[in-house]
Amino acid sequence: MAVKEKRNIRKEIHNKLDDNVMQGALAKFTSEYPMARLKAYANVDSIDDLRDDLRTMKRWAVDHIDALADEFQHSVEERGGKVFRAATGDDVKKILLQICEENGVHRIVKSKSMATEEIKLNGALENAGLHVRETDLGEWMLSVAGQKPSHMVMPAIHLNKEQCAGFFEQELHEEVPSDISYMIHTARRVLREEFLHADLGITGANFGIAENGAIGLVTNEGNARLVTTTPKIHVVLIGYEKLIPKVKDAAKILRLLPRNGTCQRMTSYMTMVSGPTPIIYKKDGKWVEENRKQYVILLDNGRLAAAKDPKMKQVYQCVRCASCLNVCPIWRMVGGHVYGHIYSGGIGAILTGLLGNMEAFSKFSDLCIGCRQCTTICPGEIPIPDLIDELRARYVKKYGLSMPEKTAFQHILTHRKVFHSLLRIGSVAQKPVQSGKFIRHLPLFFSGMTDGRSLPAIAAKPLRDRTEELCRHNPKTPVMTAAFFSGCNMDFVFPDTGESVVKVLQDLNIAVTYPQEQTCCGKPVLGMGDRDTGKVIAKQNIEALEATGADVIISACPTCAETLERTYKELFKDDAEWKARAEAVAGKVREFTSFVAEQYKAQGRTLPQAERGSRITYHDSCHMRRGLGVWEQPRELIKMTGADFVEMKDSDRCCGMAGAFGVKYSEISKPILHDKLENIGNTKADTVAVACPACMMQIGGGLNQQNPGVRVKHVADILAECIAER
Is the Cβ of residue 165 or residue 298 nearer to another protein in the bound state? 165
Residues 6+ apart with CB under 8 A from 206: 216, 217, 218, 242, 253, 257, 319, 320
Per CB under 8 A, the list member of 9, 272, 305, 429 interacting with another protein is 272
Site for another protein in 288-307 (CB under 8 A): 289
Q: CB–CB of 520/615 below 8 Å?
A: no
Which runs of E-coded beta strand occur in 105-159?
107-110, 131-134
> Count residues contacting another protein (CB under 8 A)?
72
Nearer to another protein, 247 or 422 (CB): 247
Q: Of 281-289, 487-495, 576-584, 655-663, which part binds another protein (CB under 8 A)?
A: 281-289
Whole-angstrom distance, CA of residue 345 vs CA of residue 73: 32
Element (H, E) at 471: helix 467-471
Q: Shortest approach of another protein to residue 222 CB, angstroms?
A: 3
Residue of 71, 134, 221, 300 interacting with another protein (CB under 8 A): 221
Minimum CB distance to another protein, residue 364 (Å): 25
Amino acid (one-letter) located at 452: G
Measured CA angle at 179 (ends 174, 185), to 5 deg:
70
Which is nearer to another protein, 80 or 681 (by Cβ)?
80
329, 340 contact by CB (below 8 A)? no
Question: Among 392, 652, 373, which Cα is nearest to 527's?
Answer: 392
Closest contact distance (angstroms) between CB of 225 and another protein is: 5
What crossing angle do the helices spanning 495-507 and 715-725 adopt, rounded to 10°? 50
Using rule CB under 8 A, residue 501 touches another protein: no
* Of 669, 37, 674, residue with least CA distance to 371: 669
* Interface with another protein, residue 226, by CB under 8 A: yes
Inter-CA distances, 655 with 16, 22, 303, 715, Å? 20, 21, 35, 17
Separation of CA 367 from chain center = 9
- What's the CA gap between 122 and 119, in Å, rounded? 9
- Nearest residue (CB) to another protein, 140 versus 419: 140
> Does residue 344 interact with another protein by CB under 8 A?
no
Options 104, 278, 285, 549; binder of another protein; rule CB under 8 A: 278
CB-wise, 267 or 540, nearer to another protein? 267
Query: What is the closest distance, in whole angstroms, from the C-beta atom of residue 281 to another protein in the complex?
Result: 7
Give min distance, CB of 315 to another protein, in A. 24
Asked if 584 interacts with another protein (CB under 8 A), we say no
- Whether the CB-CB separation of 267 and 306 falls below 8 Å is answered with no
Contacts with 121 (C-beta within 8 Å, 6 or more apart), sequence order: 89, 92, 93, 96, 202, 237
Cβ of residue 260: shortest distance to another protein, in angstroms? 14
The candidate with the shortest Cα–Cα distance to 483, out of 553, 434, 422, is 553
Map the footprint of another protein across residues 67-106, applying CB under 8 A: 79
By C-beta, is 6 or 286 nearer to another protein? Answer: 286
- Each residue 174-203 as x (binds another protein by CB under 8 A) or -, in order, gives ------xx-xxx-xx--xx--xx-------
Task: Spell out, one character per residue from 111 to 140, where the chain touches another protein: x when CB under 8 A holds, - when not.
Answer: ------------------------xxxx--
Please state, in angstroms and rounded to a whole number, the distance separating the CA atoms of residues 504 and 346. 39
Interacting span for another protein (CB under 8 A) from 262-270, 430-438, 448-456, 684-692: 262-270
Using CB under 8 A as the binding rule, whether residue 44 contacts another protein is answered as yes
| 271 counts as binding another protein under rule CB under 8 A | yes
Site track 140-159 with another protein (rule: CB under 8 A), x = hit = -x------------xxxx-x
Instruction: Verify binding: residue 443, another protein, rule CB under 8 A.
Output: no
**Residue 175 or 577 having the CB closest to another protein:** 175
Distance CA 460, CA 492 (A): 8
Residues 231-260 that bind another protein (CB under 8 A): 246-248, 250-252, 254-255
> Which part of the chain contacts another protein (CB under 8 A), choosing from 220-228, 481-489, 613-621, 686-694?
220-228
Nearer to another protein, 30 or 698 (CB): 30
Stretch binding another protein (CB under 8 A), from 277-285, 349-357, 503-511, 715-723? 277-285
**Identified binder of another protein from the candidate list 23, 116, 143, 267, rule CB under 8 A:** 267
Residue 180 or 480: the one with the smaller Cβ distance to another protein is: 180
Among residues 168, 111, 150, the alpha carbon closest in space to that of 21 is found at 150
CB atoms within 10 A of CB 423: 20
Residues near 575 by beta carbon (within 8 Å), at least 6 away in sequence? none
- CA atoms of 552 and 510, how far apart (whole Å): 10
- H helices present in 310-406, as ranges: 323-326, 329-334, 345-354, 358-364, 384-399, 403-406
Residues 396/528, Cβ–Cβ less than 8 Å: yes
Enumerate residues 6+ apart whose C-beta is below 8 A from 504: 592, 596, 716, 719, 720, 723
Instruction: Using the minimum distance from each CB to another protein, give the nearer residue, 107 or 440.
Output: 107
Distance of CA 280 to the CA centre of its chain: 47
By the rule CB under 8 A, 437 interacts with another protein? no
Indicate the residue among 252 and 635 with the shorter CB distance to another protein.
252
Binding characters for another protein, 23-42, by CB under 8 A (x = yes):
--x--xx-------------
Of the candidate spans 218-226, 297-305, 351-359, 415-423, the one that interacts with another protein by CB under 8 A turns out to be 218-226
Q: Is 273 in the site for another protein (CB under 8 A)?
A: yes
Closest CB 39 distance from another protein, rounded Å: 9
Span of 235-243, 268-276, 362-370, 569-577 interacting with another protein by CB under 8 A = 268-276
> Which CB sits closer to another protein, 26 or 371?
26
